[in-house]
Chains A and B, each alone.
Chain A
């Protein structure tokens, strides 16, 4: 099948600490996945799982320690900062941080149009920008000449998407686009992603810790834990019938907007984060309710069961042949 973006054994190791005690944290550990054209792929996990690091490497803001990033057949070269031209664009978590508070927001639009030669003169540029703004539910008049502080968070996020659409990208990387937006307004942003996929064939790499919106909008999903992908497959299978104990924990912990579905069990939160990174064997072994002896010493292999990838010792012997 066609692969729009392929991530192959991508690894990033950070060295933290002082001269005397250096700790190696593997933020992203041999991560492999691919995204098809016109698909919404969710990369989900809690903070510190490595998903943002992966996004930064894809965009060229961080250099991988090893592994390959391939877009449309082209492999990203080492230290190549801006390698994707107009094919890949991104939107970020904090809508107010995305734009310089001291500049009007439309300046970025005009700069993009100018730098990528998308219009011949100012009049054409305004028309072009207006078109993209209409696609996200805004108009040029209500947007021109305004500073970021004059918009609400939800509006700014939509403006951010409009800016990303200017270069007609095939892949949009959305890094936690709704976590700073009110729960009731998330739908409007996330529905936009659906619309972009259906009408324009844009693929979206949806990075989030909110599994509810991930379920709603994505086609496939990869669950990350402390740098590893622990489960990956279609969003129906992974989220409605989770196999990996961590996925099950995540799924159960989502507060559902239904008073009849309250949490029945309690959760145990005592282990410290950085200790989990340094575990040998399966990193989830400290908290896993079904942990076995082998989990503490041996890293589980990537097993494929019913087209779903699971990284767990419990399923050894059950994989697809």
Chain B
């Protein structure tokens, strides 16, 4: 597609795209894992990387390579759920608040601002402890999404506020377009770069937060994620004991993931920016 070709001209997109593809393949490999990640003692503990265990084994007796495939998969799933759900909420809230204004706007922004101001971490800790028994990937994702929409809702709202005053809004009204269609068709193209970049940023944020919660022991430890791998590694003093293969795996993977996501978001949002888009549109 022409769009992809244009995007690939940006080295940041090319590199990050490749890294993400590799990580996705890694995540998909988890389907073919010959070992159940929740079982312990499948292998002798703390083996260094070898041909049999590509990344060695951990103190629970699990193969680190196959653990990692599950970890990447689960972390991606959690962050995708968190980011997508919070996008939907942010778009709905931002658009309604921006276009309608008045009391609805004030109420919605009040709720959003409260979520921004309240010390997020304490609330998350409390809620995580409450739902610990029912914790699974989806629940964790939804929990993160509740706290991820407020900032972006405000950004989307300000885009809508400025577009509302433009003359083409009046043209659309005179064309008989109803409010919902107007906001979706006229304003969405302007909000798209914002939505995309915040989607990806939100994913990074979700992964980071999940890792933090996991290291503190607040999620279900039997589900392998990048965070829980780190938790176990720290609990078993892997750094002190020099078991670098165990600690480095989640760390390196998450660093790659963060950087790739960041570059992806930056390059896509530059591509989608209405100002550069208008120039491209005219040139074709």
Contacts and interface: CB of A to CB of B under 8 A. Distances in A.
Any A–B CB pair closer than 8 Å: yes
A108 B171 CA distance: 8
Contacts of A82: 173
A65 to B, nearest CB: 19
Contacts of A101: 274, 278, 281
25 contacts: A59-B170, A61-B170, A81-B173, A89-B174, A93-B167, A97-B167, A97-B168, A98-B167, A99-B168, A99-B171, A100-B168, A100-B172, A100-B189, A101-B278, A101-B281, A102-B274, A103-B185, A103-B186, A107-B185, A111-B175, A111-B176, A112-B176, A115-B175, A115-B176, A163-B175
A147 interface: yes
A223 B171 CA distance: 27
In the complex, which range does the number of interface residues on chain B fall in?
20 to 34
A302 interface: no
Interface of A: 59, 61, 81-82, 89-90, 92-94, 97-103, 107-108, 111-112, 115-116, 147, 149-150, 160, 163-164
B210 to A, nearest CB: 36
A59 B170 CA distance: 9
Contacts of B189: 100, 102-103
Given A103-B185, A147-B282, A150-B282, A98 B168 contact: yes
Nearest to A82: B173
B283 to A, nearest CB: 9
Contacts of B170: 59, 61, 90, 92
Q: Which 9 A-B pairs have the closest CB atoms?
A: A115-B176, A149-B282, A97-B167, A112-B175, A102-B189, A100-B168, A92-B167, A111-B175, A147-B281
A111 B282 contact: no
Given A101-B278, A102-B189, 6 more contacts: A92-B170, A102-B277, A103-B186, A108-B171, A111-B175, A160-B171
B2 interface: no
Interface string B174-201: 1111000000011001100000000000
Contacts of A108: 171-172, 175
Interface of B: 166-168, 170-177, 185-186, 189-190, 274, 277-278, 281-282
B174 A90 contact: yes
A217 to B, nearest CB: 22
Contacts of A107: 185
A163 B177 CA distance: 14
Contacts of B274: 101-102
**Interface hub of A89, A99, A102, A147 (most chain B Cβ within 10 A):** A102
